Homo-oligomer: A and B are copies of this chain.
Amino acid sequence: MEPYDVIYETYGKMNDDKSNIIVVCHALTGSHHAAGYYEGEHKGGWWDGFIGPGKAIDTDEFFVISTNVIGSCFGSTGPMSRRYPDQEPYRYKFPVVTIKDMVKAQRILFDRLGIHHVHAIVGGSMGGMQALQFAVQFPKFATKIIAMAATYATQPWAIAFNKVAQASILHDPEFKNGYYDPEDLHENGLSGMAVGRMAGHISFLSHYSMQKKFGREYKLTDGLFELFGKFQVESYLEYNGYNFTKWFDPLSYLYITKAINIYDLSRGFDSLEQALLNVQSETYLISFKEDMLFLSDEMKVIADKLAGRKTLQSDYFEVDSNYGHDAFLVELDKFDDYVKKALHE
């Protein structure tokens, strides 16, 4: 897969001795656009509340670099990128990528940019997996690792939610077994991916937050089967599912969910313990109590093993949140002080 592109954004200013660099890693459907607003953009970067002047990752102090993972669809090489030299999209010729590959591709980019060491690597969900993989794979690269809402190896319930999405994409006739024309999809997107994404959205919330957000709110509609109305939670899933298909590529979704499913920090080692013996960075782990996708207990497994290493600085913080997995994107005020402190300790 050469040559390949890794697209990135930066925020803040690198200082002369390159001691203020922070790498931010994105989740499944995220991108290099972690902070700030493009011209005319309404929503801003996916962690804009967290990265910026005076924010938890303070760009008055730090230089932040955020890349789009390989396999994704926002500029880095992915399955719909044109393959060298024939210029046809890779599609299934794109290799199965792992979190390790994503991290390696970033590491090579940073080398090219003259960045051989960073102050910290920070990420949540799949971004947290990358941060942890960095720590195991390139032990001297980062002074600090801050990983949140992730795991040491993806568990069956997370694989199951991804499976529903994958099956739903694969069985949509408009997916054409991967030989779709993206131009045909961009109007309404791939409905199979919309449906699959709805399942994902269940896993991003908790019982509590669904109860609070939607309850049994109901409104009348006039669709065919929905003649008698629709629950608020149904509208939410539909809106988010269909909206998603307008900006994300189905093959990228298959490849990235595959990368998440096969993620296992212990791969290539005899055990997780052995893998974690490699870690030399100070490690800060954050979990969210009601995360149903990557359970608090999973982060605790890593935390306990790291705590056993007496010469290593590590810390674990379970955020008292009942929002669910997406808390790492939503309830920033519950852990921004912790991150700020971790970055300065």
Identify the A interface with B (CB < 8 A).
92, 96, 153-157, 159-161, 163-164, 166-168, 170-173, 177-178, 191-192, 194-196, 198-199, 201-202, 205, 207, 210-211, 213-216, 224-225, 227-228, 231-234, 237-238, 241, 254, 258, 261-262, 264, 292, 295
Q: Is the CB of B156 within 8 A of A231?
A: yes
Q: Is the CB of A237 within 8 A of B160?
A: yes
Q: A156-B231, A225-B254, A231-B261 are in contact. Are A195 and B207 (CB under 8 A)?
A: no
Contacts of A178 in B (CB 8 A): 224-225
How far in angstroms is the closest Cβ of chain B from A193? Answer: 11
17 chain-A/chain-B pairs, Cβ below 8 angstroms: A155-B210, A156-B210, A156-B216, A156-B233, A157-B202, A159-B216, A161-B202, A163-B233, A164-B164, A164-B202, A167-B238, A167-B241, A177-B224, A178-B225, A195-B196, A207-B292, A228-B262
How far in angstroms is the closest Cβ of chain B from A173? Answer: 6
Contacts of A161 in B (CB 8 A): 202
Contacts of A198 in B (CB 8 A): 160, 163-164, 167
Q: Which of B156, B232, B264 is A214 in contact with, Cβ under 8 Å?
A: B156
Across the A-B interface, give the 3 residue pairs with the lowest CB-CB distance, nearest first: A156-B233, A156-B210, A156-B214
How far in angstroms is the closest Cβ of chain B from A253? Answer: 11
Q: Is the CB of B211 within 8 A of A156?
A: yes
Q: Is the CB of A171 within 8 A of B195?
A: yes
How far in angstroms is the closest Cβ of chain B from A153? Answer: 6
Q: Is the CB of B195 within 8 A of A92?
A: no
Contacts of A167 in B (CB 8 A): 194-195, 198, 237-238, 241
How far in angstroms is the closest Cβ of chain B from A332? Answer: 24
Q: Is the CB of B195 within 8 A of A225?
A: no
Complex CA–CA separation, A201 to B160 (angstroms):
9
Contacts of A166 in B (CB 8 A): 225
Complex CA–CA separation, A178 to B225 (angstroms):
9
Q: Is the CB of B92 within 8 A of A164?
A: no
Q: Is the CB of A163 within 8 A of B234?
A: yes
Q: Is the CB of B96 within 8 A of A160?
A: no
Q: Is the CB of B264 within 8 A of A170?
A: no
Contacts of A254 in B (CB 8 A): 225
- Report the nearest B residue to A261, measured CB to CB: B231
- Report the nearest B residue to A200, measured CB to CB: B164
Q: Is the CB of A92 within 8 A of B237?
A: no
Complex CA–CA separation, A205 to B155 (angstroms):
14
How far in angstroms is the closest Cβ of chain B from A301? Answer: 12
Contacts of A213 in B (CB 8 A): 156
Q: Is the CB of B216 within 8 A of A155?
A: yes
